Amino acid sequence: MLAKGSEPWLFTAALVTALFAILSRAMNSSHLNHVAYLANNAAYLAMALTFFMVLFFRDPERKVEISDTYMISPADGTIIDIRDRKVCIFMFFQNVHVNRAPISGKIREITYKKGGYLPAFCKDSERNERNEFIIHSKYGDVSVTQIAGTIARRIVSYSRVNDSIEQGQRIGMIRFGSRVDVTIPHDFEITVRKGERVLAGKTVIATIKNDRDF
């Protein structure tokens, strides 16, 4: 399965590949060897780009076990920092870039802010382009912030204000790299550590401190 909204990117990459392949074949038949050589190399590069696009925009189905007793990771990647009840997850190119809800609730607010494109693993990335979801859960508000990185130029939201979402539901994606931060309510204990790899919708990042009914 491919991520929502990826069709134009994949179509463009495939079209460029096809055009260079046709040009390469046409130049070979006309004995323009130098042009044919360049067109052939360009076709291979475009083919590699198409493969990269398919790899990047993949969105595998994942069976999510919904529970009020824990929170799950909103993103694939590596935890680069844990501070002030906030877990910061850096997404590398090879990671799936579709983000999911860490907890069930209702989207109370979505705030988009323009900004720069510093490396997303830097603390200065607080000045980067970002999109923040405020999910109102039974344990209080949970913030999920998508932060653009050096190459990323588009944060895509799949959800709207007042949408009711289930834990593990897709809420958006960031194209080409970056990071996702999630705040953990005080009723939960953080169970992951810095440097740990996580999967969106699968890895438990925090568990409820006790089983009292809210």
Query: How is the beta sheet containing 188-190 ordered, strand by strand?
Result: 70-72, 204-208, 188-190
85: left (phi over 0), alpha (psi -120 to 50) or beta: left
- Higher-pLDDT residue of 4 and 110 is 110
pLDDT band at residue 94 using 50, 70 and 90 as cut-offs: confident
Q: pLDDT digit string (tens) for 44-86?
A: 676 666 666 666 667 888 999 999 999 999 999 999 999 989 9
Share of the chain above pLDDT 70, in %: 63
177: left (phi over 0), alpha (psi -120 to 50) or beta: left
CA pair distance 40, 141, nearest whole angstrom: 54
The residues annotated as belonging to the active site are 178
Predicted pLDDT of residue 15: 66
Bridge partners (DSSP) of residue 111 are: 132
Predicted pLDDT of residue 113: 87
Hey, which of 19-23, 89-93, 137-141 has the most confident mean pLDDT? 137-141
Q: Which amino acid is at 118?
A: L
Predicted pLDDT of residue 145: 94
| pLDDT at position 214 over 50 | no
Q: Is the distance from CB of 135 to CB of 110 less than 8 angstroms?
A: no
The pTM score is 0.75
pLDDT band at residue 210 using 50, 70 and 90 as cut-offs: confident
pLDDT band at residue 173 using 50, 70 and 90 as cut-offs: confident
The conformation of residue 162, written as its DSSP 8-state character, comes to T
CB atoms near residue 202 (< 10 Å): 15
Cβ neighbours of residue 21 under 8 Å, at least 6 residues apart?
Answer: 43
Average pLDDT over residues 2-29: 61
